[in-house]
Amino acid sequence: MHRAMPALDKHDSPLPTTTVKWRFPAVHPEGRKFAVIAGAVTALAFALHWGALAWLLVGVTAWVAAFFRDPVRTTPRGDKLVVAPADGLITMIAKVGPPPELRGGDMLPDGDYTRVSIFMSVFDVHINRAPIAGRVKRIAYVPGKFVNADLDKASEDNERQHMLIEGADGLCIGFTQIAGLVARRILSFVREGDVVDVGQRVGLIRFGSRVDVYLPAGTSPKVLLGQRTIAGETVLAEIGSDVTLTGISQ
């Protein structure tokens, strides 16, 4: 005998009842002064009737504002999830040792780590976000060169800033902001000892650069070479999951 299913109350709907609407990304406060300067120069060019140059400066002003855009991101939550700290292209995945600035003591132990490198072009969002929730245990700035951030040696030669976050379970995830050819300043929005949430804005690199993330042994990345990541949204890895992914570019 079949029994009739009870009617669903409006609060028991199995489907989400809310919607999300697109909105124009805000410009980060760090970039507003640059956008204002570019806009002022553009206005002056029009006032002086510089014609083609003035219209070219309109494009420059729009690009400066777009470079410092700060879109809202929806971050997946999970005790073992590591999310991408940067927008960009996965250009390298390699087995390496931990950076000297984050090695030893109660930081990253010696051993093999999987370094996932995310290259940010001048067209990518440059706000960097925390890959896990936890306490900022270490921030180490290292002056250096400004060679192409897409090169492997950039992780050792370029100006860079290392950051180490310790999760509630004691596991530490390290990542490095690396300056590039045109990047001339690495900014940090947090300090050592601060508690951050996963996906929280933690820094910015001006004008083209790279971010390296160090995954511990026994954890394989859930991204592939050539894949694009979205800071605060793309899952880079699940701690303890050592399943190697394969894919195809098409």
Question: Are 180 and 59 within one domain?
Answer: no
Question: Are 63 and 113 within one domain?
Answer: no
Question: Are 231 and 135 within one domain?
Answer: yes
Least confident of 31-45, 130-144, 145-159, 204-218: 145-159
Residue 233 placed within a domain:
yes
Residue 35 placed within a domain:
yes
- Look at the pTM and tell me if it is higher than 0.85: no
pLDDT of residue 3: 44
Comparing 122 with 71, the larger pLDDT belongs to: 71
The set of catalytic residues is: 209
Torsion of CA 87, 93, 95, 101, to 10 degrees: -20
Residue 88 placed within a domain:
yes
Question: Are 162 and 51 within one domain?
Answer: no
Q: In this model, does residue 85 exceed pLDDT 60?
A: yes
Average pLDDT value for residue range 176-181: 82
Question: Domain range spanning residue 56?
Answer: 26-70
Distances (CA, A) of 227 to 2, 201, 241: 50, 22, 19
Residue 202 placed within a domain:
yes
Distances (CA, A) of 122 to 40, 98, 110, 118, 139: 22, 28, 34, 13, 25
Comparing 149 with 230, the larger pLDDT belongs to: 230
Residue 126 placed within a domain:
yes
Domains: count for the chain: 2
- Nearest partner of 94 among 51, 151, 135, 43, judged by Cα: 151
Spatial separation of the C-alpha atoms in residues 8 and 173, rounded to whole Å: 44
Query: pLDDT-derived band of residue 156, with 50, 70 and 90 as boundaries?
Result: low
